[in-house]
Amino acid sequence: MARKGSRKTGESHIDIVPIGHVDALAVSVVAANLQTLMGLNADTLPLHPEPEYAYLAVRSQYAAGKIIKELESIDEGSRFKLGIVQCDLCTPILKFVFGESQLGGKAAVISLHRLQDKDPARTYLRAAKIGLHETGHLLGIGHCQTHDCLMAFVSTIEKLDGQPARFCTACQYEISRTLKYIFG
Amino acid sequence: MKFSTRILIVDDEEMICESLQAWFVRDGYQVETALSGEAALKIVENSPADIYLVDIKMPHMDGIEFLTRLKECQPNAIVVMMTAHGTVQTAVEAMKRGAMDYFCKPFDPDELSLFMERILANKALREENNTLKELLSESNQQGLSEVFIVHSEPMRAIFSKIEEVAPSSAPILITGETGVGKDMVAKAIHFRSERSCGPFLAVNCGSLSESILESELFGHEKGAFTGAVKARRGRLEMAHNGTLFLDEVGEISQKMQVSLLRAIEEKSFLRLGGSQPISSDFRLISATHRDLPSLIKEKQFRDDFYYRINVITIDVPPLRERLDDIPVLADHFLKRYAEETGKSLGGFTHKAIDLLSSYHWPGNIRELRNVVERAVVIARGRMIGAEELTFVNPRHDAGLIGSATLRELEINQIKAALESCNWNIVRSSKRLGIDRSTLMRKMKRYRLDRC
Ligand SMILES: Nc1ncnc2c1ncn2[C@@H]1O[C@H](COP(=O)(O)OP(=O)(O)OP(=O)(O)O)[C@@H](O)[C@H]1O
Ligand SMILES: [Mg+2]
Ligand SMILES: [Zn+2]
Ligand SMILES: [Zn+2]
């Protein structure tokens, strides 16, 4: 309650939702990056239970779409929700995804499962990149053709590591324009 | 190219359709879906797509049957089959019937993106082979690709000539007014020649001072002149196994013409301050907007050099002599700038097209491009209207002279010259018949600046 009350109007914000057991540090790093790179203030909501409803026995993975639906149904807080899970995500057409998002929608989810590295700092950086990318989609931004932009589609962990943690000027412009439009 | 590519997804499973659609939309494609072969054929009737992703196993009409029916009405359609069960047999059958490839659901993300890149490359290839409409020419430095619109009869003729002469190594002279596309023609020749893997090196002879041009072309040894602290290779040397493009060749001094002539004839030359002959094998393409034969008559250009560079001539006609190209080019630039600025614009009103077609285009395509770019920036509605088109050099014979002051006329004249010379001061001043410093003074006085 205090959190909601403390929000000034005109302040861009998003809620981060840890789902199931996730590394709390990863959550903070994602939040910090949303703040610095996109100007989005991130609040972390209380932990949600493991997403058993999204489990697909045939694939031994979790359906990203189902988790997004669940996030969408949370009424309180910001209009944007970014879920973070530890389990492996997939979609009906892709063998796996690092994250999934509704283009111009309310909710997105990212998974730490395939981002794990011996060096936790690297894991967190990867998570931040995916979080920024999926949040970009929430703002209605599609994939970017500029290779060194966070909105470029990356399909492998190597490509993700090669990607600098920044948006190109065109995407950056779109982000601030959209945030200004939404939050005034 | 991607953004104008339409994809139709045909799968009886709604979730697959939605999921694929979401992926392609995020990636910038226009996507439609159909839950059956029958529904897909209805869509094809009205508006065929460029790429089809088709599930093999569907009730009623299956993927193979859809493929067969589709190929009857759209033989060049790019069709990719999808299968959930890895039935290689049917996939092979599909390929026999003209599918380009197949893949198994679910896709590996990396496979999917590589796959789309391949399809797009293939699509570009087919378009190039199938129609004369566009020729992709690549810019050497940035690796950018620009579309070369070939539409009107005269441009088609030029295009066939390009294809005809590209393979040989004979020197080519491209003539035509400023902004008609001489650079593009030169690149098109290079990229269709056997030297396309070699470098394409352009030198703008009009924008460099004599001494800089000389060392730019021939290179220099260390200490050849004050400031030559390091040895440097020249363009002639760097163009080895590729193409050397001498732009604005009409501006070269006679002295330089002699040196170049020797280098071309002997296929070897010396760097400035050097004594070791350097040999280089390049194809020479030159371009000019000037009338070289009359410069020769005035003894301003050497005839022996002229004959050497002008083995084959390609004359690119001005835009006003190929009116058919105007709507096509205008549309092309509209799309490009609308995409760049993120505006959704449908096209031009009839009035606007009429206005574009009746203008005399002294700056040719470059000017048309600038006019459209400006119109896109200021456009408020969905269509660009006549009132959004502003010309730098409206015809004065339309009664304007009486009302314009001398000062206005001068401003217009200078603006037009600058515009048509792409704001190159040296060339603009030549065109206006005044010297460089006078032009710069006038620009300052009238506050003329590239906007
Ligand atoms: N056929 C064409 N299709 C698409 N764009 C074109 C075409 N011809 C010219 N252009 C565009 O018009 C502009 C001018 O073309 P280009 O530089 O080739 O002209 P040019 O004749 O070399 O001009 P100049 O005499 O000033 O050197 C470029 O931006 C080019 O992309
Ligand atoms: Mg040119
Ligand atoms: Zn994405
Ligand atoms: Zn970008």
Predicted confidence (pLDDT) per residue in B48-65, tens digit = 898 999 999 899 999 999
**For residue A16, which of A38, A8, A5 has the smallest C-alpha distance?**
A38
- Closest CB to B106: pick one of A65, A94, A174: A94
> Which overall architecture, per CATH, does domain A13-183 show?
3-Layer(aba) Sandwich (3.40)
Burial B125-146 (b: 16+ CB within 10 A, else e): eebeeeeeebbebbebeeeeee
**B13 confidence band (pLDDT: 50, 70, 90):** very high
The average pLDDT across B229-242 equals 87
> Which overall architecture, per CATH, does domain B320-388 show?
Orthogonal Bundle (1.10)
How is chain A split into domains, by residue range?
13-183
Residue with tokens 């002469």: B165
Predicted confidence (pLDDT) per residue in B270-282, tens digit = 998 888 899 998 9
Sign of torsion over alpha carbons B26, B32, B34, B37: negative
How is chain B split into domains, by residue range?
2-125, 161-315, 320-388, 406-445
Catalytic positions of A: 134
Judged by CB atoms within 8 Å, which residues 16-75 of A form the interface with B?
65
CB atoms within 10 A of CB B353: 17
**B123 confidence band (pLDDT: 50, 70, 90):** low
User: Comparing B2-125 with B161-315, is the CATH topology the same?
Assistant: yes
Determine whether the interchain pair A142/B28 forms a contact, defined as Cβ–Cβ distance below 8 Å.
yes
Show the DSSP H helices in B245-363 as ranges.
254-266, 292-297, 303-309, 325-341, 350-358
Topology annotation, domain B406-445: Arc Repressor Mutant, subunit A (1.10.10)
Residue with tokens 């004959």: B307
**B168 confidence band (pLDDT: 50, 70, 90):** confident
Match domain B161-315 to its CATH number in 3.90.230.10, 3.40.50.300, 3.30.499.10, 3.30.420.60: 3.40.50.300
CB atoms within 10 A of CB B258: 13
Residue B150 clears pLDDT 90, i.e. is over it: no
Residues around ligand 2, an ion, CB closer than 5 A: B 182-183
Which SS3 state, helix, strand or coil, does residue A42 take? strand
Determine whether the interchain pair A143/B105 forms a contact, defined as Cβ–Cβ distance below 8 Å.
no
Please give the CATH number for the structural domain made up of B2-125.
Answer: 3.40.50.2300
DSSP element (H, E) containing B53 = strand B51-55
Cα B197 from chain centroid (whole Å): 18
Residue with tokens 């008609």: B180
Predicted confidence (pLDDT) per residue in B390-424, tens digit = 886 655 443 333 445 556 767 888 888 888 888 88
Average pLDDT over all residues of chain B: 83
Q: Count how many pairs of residues, chain A against chain B, have C-beta atoms within 8 Å.
A: 58
Q: Which ligand is nearest to the Cα of residue A151, counting in written order?
A: 4
**For residue A150, which of A129, A170, A169 has the smallest C-alpha distance?**
A129
What distances in angstroms separate CA B386 from CA A31, B281, B327, B357, B451, one per listed residue?
50, 51, 14, 11, 21
